[in-house]
Amino acid sequence: MEKPNWQRLPHEQAAEVMRTIGAQADAAVFSKQLTEVTCRILPFYNRFKLYRLTNYATMPCFTMDYLGSEAEDKFYTLDGLANTLYDVNDHDGIELSADTVVPYIDFFFAQVQGPDGDIYLIKSPEGLPMLGSLPQNQQDSVREHFVPLDVSEDPDNQSFKIRATLYYGGSLISAQINVHRRGLITIKDQTLLLQGIHFPQSPIEHKYISD
C-alpha cells in the first residue's frame, strides 16, 4: 500500500498553525517547542489539507488531526462526526469525480463510525491484511462472497453509486453507497454476505490516517 506523503512544517509555519488552532474555543493545548506539525494533501479537496499535531511533551505523546486551510486561518477538529466533514466540504467547495470518490469514501469511513462501530470499504479479499488470521473455511467464504467494487456516475442526481463490499460489525455486507458531488454519503440496499468474522485488529490499513 502506498504510504501517506506527510510533510513536516518548518518551525515558524508550525507555530502559526498552532496559534490559529489554539485560538479556537476548547482547543487542545500543545507545546510549541515539543509539538511536530505535519500535513498532507487530500485529492478530493481544493484548499483544505489534513494536518496532524503530535505533542511529545506528554508521556505517552498524543496526536490530533485537523482539516484546515492556512491561507484562510480555518481549521476543523476531526471529531468523528459526519457533519464536521460536511461543513468542510461546503467551505472548501468540494467537487468529487470518478477518480476521487473512492478515496473520499476511504477517508470518510476512517473518520466516521457507524452505530455499531467502524465501517471498512473492502476493495479486494487479498487486500485484507488480517485475512490470514481467519480459519481456512472463513477465508474461503470471504473470497467466495466478495462483491467487486463498481463505481457509476448518476449525472441527473449529481452523485455517484458505488456497489461494494463492506466489513461492519463482524459481518461482510454488500451495499450501495450513494455519494453526492458535495460529499454527502448514504448507504442503502444492504445484503448480508457473511457474518461472525472477527479480526484481532483493524481489517484494513487506512491510507489517509496511517503513519
Cis before 60? omega within 30? yes
Q: Provide the pLDDT for residue 124.
A: 85
Across the range 105-130, mean pLDDT stands at 85
Indicate the domain borders of the chain. 7-92, 101-194
In which band, very low, low, confident or very high, does the pLDDT at 126 lie, cut at 50, 70 and 90?
confident
Cβ neighbours of 124 (radius 10 Å): 11
Q: Provide the pLDDT for residue 128.
A: 67
Across the range 58-77, mean pLDDT stands at 92
Q: Which residues of 187-198 are buried (b: 16+ CB within 10 A; e: fewer)?
A: beeeeebbeebe
Q: Give dist(CA 52, CA 198) in Å, integer.
A: 30
Q: Give dist(CA 136, CA 131) in Å, integer.
A: 9
Yes or no: say if 15 and 23 are a contact pair by the CB < 8 Å rule. Answer: no
**Cα–Cα distance list, 111 to 1, 97, 99, 102, 127 (Å):** 19, 20, 20, 14, 20
In which band, very low, low, confident or very high, does the pLDDT at 145 lie, cut at 50, 70 and 90?
confident
In which band, very low, low, confident or very high, does the pLDDT at 4 lie, cut at 50, 70 and 90?
low
Q: Provide the pLDDT for residue 30.
A: 76
Q: Provide the pLDDT for residue 46.
A: 95
Cβ neighbours of 17 (radius 10 Å): 21
In which band, very low, low, confident or very high, does the pLDDT at 58 lie, cut at 50, 70 and 90?
confident
Name residue 186's beta-bridge partners: 178
Q: Is the pLDDT of residue 200 over 60?
A: no
In which band, very low, low, confident or very high, does the pLDDT at 41 lie, cut at 50, 70 and 90?
very high
Yes or no: say if 49 and 41 are a contact pair by the CB < 8 Å rule. Answer: yes
Q: Provide the pLDDT for residue 207.
A: 43
Across the range 31-40, mean pLDDT stands at 90
C-alpha cell at 177: 453507497
Across the range 166-185, mean pLDDT stands at 90
Q: Is the pLDDT of residue 56 over 70?
A: yes
Q: Provide the pLDDT for residue 196.
A: 64
Instruction: Output the CA angle 7-12-15, nearest 5 degrees.
Output: 85
In which band, very low, low, confident or very high, does the pLDDT at 202 lie, cut at 50, 70 and 90?
very low
Determine the 3-state secondary structure of 98 from DSSP: coil
